[in-house]
Amino acid sequence: MAVTPGPSVLIADDHAPTRALVRRALENGGFFVCAEVPDADRAISAARQTSPDVALLDVRMPGSGIRAAEVIGTEQPGTSVVMLTVSAEDGDLFSALSAGASGYLLKGQDPTRFPELLRKVLSGEAALSGTLVKRLVQEYRVRDVRQRFRARLPRGARLTPKEWEVLELLNDGLGTADIARRLFVADVTVRTHLAAIIRKLNVKDRAAALRLVRGDTSTSSVAQS
């Protein structure tokens, strides 16, 4: 009686020992490794030839795992794309998710968990560690706050990324010293950013700046020009 192979997976990573470790973990977990390649171009070619259930792609392999994720996701809609990387940097995480990845596995994780995580992806769930989920929640919370705040800025007002950080922490109820500790800067640096925010928003003080971006636009909070 023929044995039905498990879900098929393409492994793409430029580090041969990593490919071997991942392959062993997945095969022991019931997956069928249909292709194993070292770069993005060959990953794209292998995906076209094998139409795997999952493409497990290293983010920073030659040719860019992000590019491979975009191409495979577009050309092979039946293939779930999961990134495999040593990088826990926010930029890589958000680029991978924007490229259509359904999961983001760190090479420091226990590889014996990979089969379980890939099966979650195949069942429609996302495969992310608890730490990365927290980052996503924080990122979208920050984006939501910035969108609401930006809509209330005076015409022409442009805050720098660091000024946005200071304003958001101020909105969270932090004082100058707490903001400085959170951003690993001196108190005077925070005061400099606050002064720039107050000037750009054309208000008289930090309390007025918060009232403005929170939607309280009473004329008493706006500085006279």
Read off the pLDDT of residues 9-24 as tens digits, 9 standing for 90 and up. 999 999 999 999 999 9
Cβ neighbours of 118 (radius 10 Å): 24
Range of the domain at 84: 8-133
Inform me whether the pLDDT recorded for 137 exceeds 60: no
What are 75-124's pLDDT values in tens digits?
999 999 998 888 666 567 777 777 888 888 888 888 999 999 999 889 88
Band of pLDDT at residue 39, cut at 50, 70 and 90: very high
Q: What span, in angstroms and rounded, lies between the C-alpha atoms of 201 and 1?
A: 75
Band of pLDDT at residue 224, cut at 50, 70 and 90: very low
Token reading at 208: 């007025």
For the chain, how many structural domains are there in total?
2
Inform me whether the pLDDT recorded for 170 exceeds 50: yes
Residue 118 is predicted with a pLDDT of 93
pTM beyond 0.75: the answer is no
Q: Among 133, 160, 193, which residue terminates a domain?
A: 133
Band of pLDDT at residue 145, cut at 50, 70 and 90: low
Burial degree of 105 (CB within 10 A; 0-12, 13-18, 19+): buried
Share of the chain above pLDDT 90, in %: 44
Q: What span, in angstroms and rounded, lies between the C-alpha atoms of 116 and 82?
A: 13
Inform me whether the pLDDT recorded for 142 exceeds 60: no
Which among 105, 164, 92 is positioned nearest to 131, based on CA atoms? 105
**In-domain check, residue 185:** yes
Residues 109 and 207 in one domain: no
Residues 120-142, mean pLDDT to the nearest whole number: 65
Residues 159 and 126 in one domain: no
Q: How many residues does the chain have?
A: 225
Residues 103 and 202 in one domain: no
**In-domain check, residue 104:** yes
7 phi-psi bin (left φ>0, alpha ψ -120 to 50, beta other): beta
Residue type at position 22: V
Residue type at position 101: A
